[in-house]
């Protein structure tokens, strides 16, 4: 090629070629896209450490770097948690009430010429009541030990009131608002209560309670129906085991008539919505037989105390 032909070639335009601007725009968009993907992603620290450990063993890396921070998981409910060891309290609260024994006996009027011995029988009755109260406290601890997890979560309360054991099932975790159908997660809790009830003597009342807000749904007529239906749902779940003596049980709907706390706040109303399993010591068939056997032969013609009249 001659020098003349080389001179006839048109000169190149000054500056960068036009396709480079399009290429730069494309690269900028791709970078933004991958940065956006990275911002949406979550890094599992535990899996990352496991992967790093596997690579370390595969490639023979000898040095180890201790990580001070504890691996934390992420979820929608709680962004982080502590793997601390829970120590549930056996009893959330235990209440005891003193009994005025002078008001628990009737006057024993003997016939003319008979010796009056009211102090002897009153002392026997006091001893029986003390034994039953101690037994109630011991069995309440058994309920608390079986329901330690639920007590720690705040869905169950166990307390004693004299000779009564009260197992309080809160609405939280047991029923939906305005519903009398037991949640699936509450069925194992009722099973734990049933296992303890099998060897705990006494009459049992299953009481349903609501707050003071009138029921406005279609499934029930009022809070009376709702409270009764909830108590009956718990009773049916307890009766699923045929070993349960249904003759010991009574199912009651109390509506809003027996609140634990005033219905003046949302939290208080939530606490009043509950089902209580009340075990009354000294009101079952075996207890009656024991009391009758103790007084047989030397108590003919006397009036029984109110606690012996069932």
Cβ burial of 282 (10 Å; 0-12, 13-18, 19+) is buried
Q: How confident is the model at residue 16 (pLDDT cuts 50, 70, 90)?
A: confident
pLDDT at 84: 54
Strands (E), 210-283: 249-253, 274-280
pLDDT in tens, 196-245: 999 888 899 999 999 999 988 888 999 999 999 999 999 999 999 899 99
Q: Give CA–CA dist 98/29, Å, rounded.
A: 79
User: What's the rounded Cα separation, in Å, for the pair 194 and 198?
Assistant: 6
Residue 59 buriedness (CB in 10 A; 0-12 / 13-18 / 19+):
exposed
Q: What is the DSSP letter of 252?
A: E
Least confident of 105-114, 185-194, 265-274, 296-305: 296-305
Residue 253: per-residue pLDDT:
94
For the chain, the average pLDDT equals: 75
Map out the domains of the chain with their CATH numbers.
101-105+118-294 (3.30.1330.60)
| Model pLDDT for residues 269-280, shown as the tens digit of each residue | 999 999 999 999
As a whole number, mean pLDDT of residues 95-120 equals: 51
Residue 274 pLDDT = 93
Comparing 33-47, 84-98, 155-169, 210-224, the range with the smallest average pLDDT is: 84-98
- What pLDDT score does 67 carry? 54
pLDDT of residue 153: 87
């Amino acid at each position: 090629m001659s020098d003349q032909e080389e001179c006839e070639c048109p000169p190149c335009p000054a500056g960068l070629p036009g396709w480079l601007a399009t290429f730069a725009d494309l690269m900028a968009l791709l970078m933004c896209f991958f940065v956006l993907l990275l911002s949406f992603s979550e890094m599992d620290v535990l899996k990352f450490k496991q992967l790093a450990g596997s690579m370390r063993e595969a490639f023979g890396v000898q040095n180890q770097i201790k990580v001070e921070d504890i691996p934390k998981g992420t979820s929608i409910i709680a962004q982080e948690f502590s793997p601390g060891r829970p120590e549930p309290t056996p009893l959330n609260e235990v209440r005891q009430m003193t009994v005025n024994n002078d008001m628990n006996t009737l006057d024993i009027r003997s016939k003319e010429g008979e010796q009056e011995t009211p102090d002897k029988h009153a002392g026997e009755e006091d001893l029986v009541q003390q034994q039953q109260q101690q037994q109630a406290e011991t069995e309440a601890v058994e309920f608390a030990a079986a329901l330690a997890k639920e007590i720690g979560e705040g869905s169950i309360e166990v307390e004693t009131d004299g000779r009564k054991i009260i197992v309080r099932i809160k609405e939280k975790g047991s029923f939906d608002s305005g519903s009398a159908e037991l949640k699936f997660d509450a069925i194992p809790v009722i099973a734990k209560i049933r296992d303890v009830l099998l060897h705990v003597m006494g009459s049992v009342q299953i009481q349903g309670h609501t707050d003071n807000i009138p029921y406005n749904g279609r499934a029930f007529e009022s809070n009376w129906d709702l409270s009764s239906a909830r108590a009956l749902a718990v009773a049916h779940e307890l009766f699923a085991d045929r070993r349960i003596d249904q003759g010991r049980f009574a199912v009651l709907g109390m509506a809003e008539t027996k609140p634990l706390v005033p219905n003046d706040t949302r939290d208080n109303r939530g606490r009043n919505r509950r089902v209580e399993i009340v075990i009354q010591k000294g009101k079952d068939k075996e207890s009656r037989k024991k009391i009758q056997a103790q007084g047989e032969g030397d108590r003919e013609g006397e009036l029984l105390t109110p606690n012996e009249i069932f």
